[in-house]
Structure 1
């Protein structure tokens, strides 16, 4: 498993709900969460074998700006 970290423009629980189904339905994602208290509105994704670009494109399709910050 790897942890992917993204900066986003998600600022509310309503926006989190909008992408919840997209992230929850991906079988390669074990868990995910947003840190809305962080200045970059961080999304952390724990996953096996998923491309950061896939996550970025998936969220962009839902109207969310998202860019990878790095792998930890």
Structure 2
């Protein structure tokens, strides 16, 4: 199972610290951040089943960070940031014609 969270984590150092904290608190979870994504996402993977999203969000909040589950709206191969960039590019192209 994989759960994706939108976060307000900006620093790679803080992301590494939070990842270590998640791994200690939830021993079976594997976590990583993608801070280059527009949502600064946190991916949490559990090979044994469902992820307790509320517990992950609470842990982030205890450390002063926000996290929210991202809904499964877009295919993983075409992230929302790419969609937004494509729409902006098309809008700009139309305005210059």
TM-score range, shorter chain: 0.7 to 0.9
C-alpha deviation, 1:18, in angstroms:
3.1
Greater relative contact order structure (CA < 8 Å, 6+ sep): 1
Per residue, is there more strand in 1 or in 2?
Answer: 1
Residue 54 of structure 2 is matched in structure 1 by: 53
After TM superposition, what 4+ stretches of structure 1 lie above 4 angstroms from structure 2?
none
List gaps (5 residues or longer) in structure 1: none
Residue 27 of structure 1 is matched in structure 2 by: 27
TM-score normalized with structure 1 length: 0.83
Question: Matched residue pairs, number?
Answer: 70
TM-score normalized with structure 2 length: 0.64
Alignment RMSD: 1.7
C-alpha deviation, 1:17, in angstroms:
3.0
Query: How do residues 1-72 of structure 1 correspond to structure 2 at under 5 angstroms?
Result: 2-25=1-24, 26-29=26-29, 31-47=30-46, 48-70=49-71
Rg larger for:
2
CA contact (8 A) 1:10 1:16 kept: yes
List gaps (5 residues or longer) in structure 2: 77-97
Distance 1:39 1:57 in 2: 22
